[in-house]
Amino acid sequence: MIGTETPPATVTLLTVNGDARQVPAGSTLAELLASLDLDPRLVVVERNGTILRDRASFGRVVLDGSDTLEIVHFVGGG
Amino acid sequence: MMGHTDVLPPQASTDPHPFVIADREFRSRLMVGTGKYASNEQMIDAIEASGAEVVTVAVRRVDLDRKNDEGILHHLDPAQFFLLANTAGCYTAAEAIRYARLARAAGFNEWVKLEVIGDQQTLLPDTVGLLEATKTLSGEGFKVMAYTNDDLITALRLEEAGAVAVMPLASPIGSGLGMLNPYAIRTIKQRLSVPVIVDAGVGTASDACIVMEQGVDGILMNTGIAAASDPVRMATAMRQAVEAGRLAYLAGRMPRREVAVPSSPTTGMLSS
């Protein structure tokens, strides 16, 4: 019966580039990048200190509440 | 009539030594950075005017709250240029290694312009951290081009540690002071087997020319072009200066003398 059980979490809280961010529960990395309007081919993602080299796997990486992501790209520099 | 022509015979302008780093040949001895330009359009125009093939880029967090047009690959065609990622802004070996790995994961190449900075005010390299990071990254298959000071011993150690090129500074990054120690730069070039590419400190075309006249293999610059009043014109000047300096080195300059030597005959003068 509704109201007697703890509802499943509807959002996942994680840390992206140093800031707290929430995504719908069960979101994948590919979905996060799409929601940020980022082309996966133009960024590199480090998840909890490990670089995710295989961009084809982004759609299978389900984000977790303990995740710390770094999303980096190339900018002008000398 | 005296022959006067702007066209050199082909052999006079040919460089007998191809510019090769770690088995890869590059067509220009001038490498340029992509930072500090007023606009992306100006950056592209200046890079094209410089004739550079190798362009450096930095690795930074994507700014998630801003418009998604700050990534340089939205403007710079990676098929047209050889992207050389740097580790600028890193103050420890561990940090530089992390940035280098992230850069390689971008998927373009395994080259890195390795910087480990030791001091915020001078941006001089931390040579201990630099050596450590060079060893680690070379062991992981990176092609390390190591930004260092003009110290011969460090340069030799970097070569031993696996660097594919050593990049001594002409003067501090962004200073535009030109080459402060030509003797040190020449000594490094004479003693190393890997290419020596002077990185940082070139302020104007004559600086670039004098650097190349020391016999080094190439120059990397950013601020000298980007901070000029007209970067595209300065990029053209730098291209010509690098070519002129290289040619002058190959041509072999005349010896310096502290006395005058007449250029015209001393005989055949009229009697007074």
Q: What is the mean pLDDT of residues B234-258?
A: 96
Query: What integer pLDDT is reported at residue B6 of this predicted model?
Result: 59
Residue B60's closest CA among B128, B106, B122?
Answer: B106
Query: What integer pLDDT is reported at residue A62 of this predicted model?
Result: 95
The verdict on a CB contact (< 8 Å) between A76 and B102 is no
Mean pLDDT for all residues in chain B: 93
Higher-confidence position of A4 and B115: B115
Could you list the mean pLDDT of each consecutive 10-residue stretch along chain A, which spans 78 residues? 65 93 94 93 95 94 94 94
User: Where residue B8 falls among pLDDT bands split at 50, 70, 90?
Assistant: low
Query: What integer pLDDT is reported at residue A7 of this predicted model?
Result: 62
B chain contacts of residue A75, beta-carbon cutoff 8 Å: 35, 57-60, 70-72
How far does the CA of residue A9 sit from the closest CA of chain B (Å)?
25
B chain contacts of residue A72, beta-carbon cutoff 8 Å: 59-62, 102
Identify which of A38, A51, A75 has the shortest CB distance to residue B102.
A51
Q: Is B88 on the interface with A (CB under 8 A)?
A: yes
A chain contacts of residue B64, beta-carbon cutoff 8 Å: 16-17, 19, 21, 36, 71
Query: What integer pLDDT is reported at residue B71 of this predicted model?
Result: 87
B chain contacts of residue A36, beta-carbon cutoff 8 Å: 62, 64, 68
Query: What integer pLDDT is reported at residue B2 of this predicted model?
Result: 47
- CA pair distance B16, A43, nearest whole angstrom: 40
B135 catalytic, yes or no?
no
Instruction: Centre a 10 Å sphere on the Cβ of residue B135 and count the other Cβ atoms it contains.
Output: 18
What is the phi/psi pair of residue B201, to 5°? 105, -10
The verdict on a CB contact (< 8 Å) between B35 and A77 is yes
Instruction: Centre a 10 Å sphere on the Cβ of residue B252 and count the other Cβ atoms it contains.
Output: 7
Q: Determine the residue of chain A that is closest to B105 in CA distance.
A: A53
The verdict on a CB contact (< 8 Å) between B33 and A73 is no
- CA pair distance B54, B107, nearest whole angstrom: 16
Model pTM score: 0.89
Q: Is B223 on the interface with A (CB under 8 A)?
A: yes
CB-based contact B218:B29 (threshold 8 Å): yes
Higher-confidence position of B69 and B213: B213
- CA pair distance B29, B51, nearest whole angstrom: 9
User: Where residue B16 falls among pLDDT bands split at 50, 70, 90?
Assistant: confident
- CA pair distance B229, B235, nearest whole angstrom: 11
Query: What integer pLDDT is reported at residue B29 of this predicted model?
Result: 97
Q: What is the mean pLDDT of residues B39-48?
A: 95
Which pLDDT tens digit goes with each residue over B129-149?
Answer: 999 999 999 999 999 999 999
- CA pair distance B170, B30, nearest whole angstrom: 14
CA angle, B168 then B86 then B144, to 5° = 60
According to the 3-state scheme, what is the secondary structure of chain B?
CCCCCCCCCHHHHCCCCCEEECCEEECCCEEECCCCCCCHHHHHHHHHHHCCCEEEEEEEECCCCCCCCCCHHHCCCCCCCEEEEECCCCCCHHHHHHHHHHHHHCCCCCEEEECCECCCCCCCECHHHHHHHHHHHHHCCCEEEEEECCCHHHHHHHHHCCCCEEEECCCCCCCCCCCCCHHHHHHHHHHCCCCEEEECCCCCHHHHHHHHHCCCCEEEECHHHHCCCCHHHHHHHHHHHHHHHHHHHHHCCCCCCCCCCCCCCCCCCCCC
Q: What is the mean pLDDT of residues B250-254?
A: 95
Q: Which of A39-48, B31-40, B62-71, B149-158 has the lowest mean pLDDT?
A: B62-71
What is the phi/psi pair of residue A49, to 5°? 85, -5
From the candidates B67, B113, B143, B189, give the one annotated as an active-site residue.
B113
The verdict on a CB contact (< 8 Å) between A70 and B61 is yes
Chain A from 37 to 76: CB within 8 A of any B CB: 37-38, 42-44, 46, 51, 53, 70-76
- CA pair distance B260, B232, nearest whole angstrom: 40
Residue B196 is given by DSSP the state B
How far does the CA of residue B224 sit from the closest CA of chain A (Å)?
11
- CA pair distance A37, A31, nearest whole angstrom: 10
Query: What integer pLDDT is reported at residue B68 of this predicted model?
Result: 52
Query: What integer pLDDT is reported at residue B58 of this predicted model?
Result: 96
Tell me the percentage of chain B whose pLDDT exceeds 90: 89
- CA pair distance B168, B198, nearest whole angstrom: 5
For residue B33, give the 3-state DSSP assignment.
Answer: coil
B chain contacts of residue A21, beta-carbon cutoff 8 Å: 64
Higher-confidence position of B3 and B85: B85
Residue B211: half-sphere exposure toward Cβ, Cα within 13 Å? 36
Q: What is the mean pLDDT of residues B88-114?
A: 97
User: Where residue B1 falls among pLDDT bands split at 50, 70, 90?
Assistant: very low
Burial class (CB in 10 A: 0-12, 13-18, 19+), A70: buried
Query: According to DSSP H, which parts of chain A are helical?
Result: 29-35
Q: Which of B8-12, B98-102, B182-186, B248-252 has the lowest mean pLDDT?
A: B8-12
Which pLDDT tens digit goes with each residue over B166-208?
Answer: 999 999 999 999 999 999 999 999 999 999 999 999 999 999 9
The verdict on a CB contact (< 8 Å) between B223 and A71 is no
What pairs with residue A12 in β-bridges?
Answer: A23
Query: What integer pLDDT is reported at residue A41 of this predicted model?
Result: 92
If you search the block for the tokens 């998927």, which residue do you land on? Answer: B107
